[in-house]
Amino acid sequence: MTDTWRPRRGSLAFRPRGRAKSQVPRVSHWADSGEARLLGFAGYKAGMTHLSFIDDSEGPTNGQEISTAVTVVEVPPLYVYGVRGYMKGKAVGDVLIDDENVLRKLGVKKKKAKAEFTPENTDAITVLVFMQPDKTTAGKKHPERMELAVGGADVAAKAEYAKSLMGKELKPEEMFKSGEYVDVISISTGKGWQGTRKRFGTALHRPKATGQRRHSGTLGQWHPAYILYTARRAGQLGYHKRTEVNKRIMKIGENVEEVNPKGGFPHYGFVRSNYVLLKGSVPGPVKRLIRMRLGTRAPEKVQEPKLTYVSIESKV
């Protein structure tokens, strides 16, 4: 007879399963880069479609045409409004643009930097950017603000590169290229308060067991007389910060007619700005902010995929 015993239902890796503090997720770790470049970007999830391409992996379908699902992320230009320096995780100071109108709309007060960014007082450089949702179909009014790390080994070179971007709009093709692998960070779809069966996948009890079927069989031992934090209990499901690694960029484009389906994407509409096609799915509903960073565990071999077909059939 097959042994059906298993240690537990549900993982402890994501405790506590609480709601995210913000829809703009923070990124605490960035990939290493030898050259001065931005290590991240962001966009809005529009929907999903499928495409065909020539398989370039070392598998049995190598050289053959295969199909895969992709996520369409609309990526409007990012506006750089400042540069920030860090030393051992603490901010040294900011250098902001001189456009008072932009800073007023963002609710940012311009302050003088505490010191100049030098290797003696700075070990990391980030750029301060904000989204431009008015150039998309997301329908948002408030622009999200975030920080993007600057790669490179020399602090002075990173600071000079970051300052050269101030007051400019950045497009995705300036930072990434087709075939590269990125990590996506976003807030998953919220499902509210749910029971243990949907939240942890517990077994459905037989009808005559206790009069209840969709519940945990026990909350723990008799003594010690308290409930352990590992017990499966009802609570919040979804709306968590999640990171998925190694999503391959299948295409970065500007021609929206090549990706907009007939009738538009459900609950989103038509893509108006630049877009990125990511292989597979990403966490979160449509219109959710999707942050992308250079893959921290990406393969060394990077080559542009050869696309043969992108579906624009109706998704309704």
For residue 113, report the phi and psi dihedrals to the nearest 5 degrees. Answer: -60, 145
Top pLDDT among 66 and 140 is at 66
pLDDT at 50 over 60: yes
H or E, element range at 106: helix 100-106
Of the chain, the percentage scoring pLDDT greater than 90 comes to 69
Compute the distance between CA of residue 107 and CA of residue 24 in angstroms, rounded to an integer. 17
pLDDT at 115 over 70: no
Q: What's the confidence (pLDDT) of residue 285?
A: 98
Inter-residue contact 113 to 93 (CB < 8 Å): yes
Predicted model pTM: 0.92
Question: Average pLDDT for residues 167-185, to the nearest whole number?
Answer: 94
H or E, element range at 236: strand 235-236
Query: In the chain, what are the domains?
Result: 15-32+41-75+176-206+230-311 (2.40.30.10), 76-170 (3.30.1430.10)
Compute the distance between CA of residue 152 and CA of residue 155 in angstroms, rounded to an integer. 7
Could you give the C-alpha distances from 200 to 1, 59, 94, 145, 194, in angstroms and in order? 26, 35, 44, 34, 10
* Interacting residues of 55 by C-beta distance below 8 A, sequence separation 6+: 61, 62, 63, 64, 65, 66
Q: What's the confidence (pLDDT) of residue 176?
A: 93
Q: How confident is the model at residue 1 (pLDDT cuts 50, 70, 90)?
A: low
Q: What's the confidence (pLDDT) of residue 287?
A: 97
Dump pLDDT digits (tens) for 227-238.
999 899 999 999
Compute the distance between CA of residue 178 and CA of residue 306 in angstroms, rounded to an integer. 10
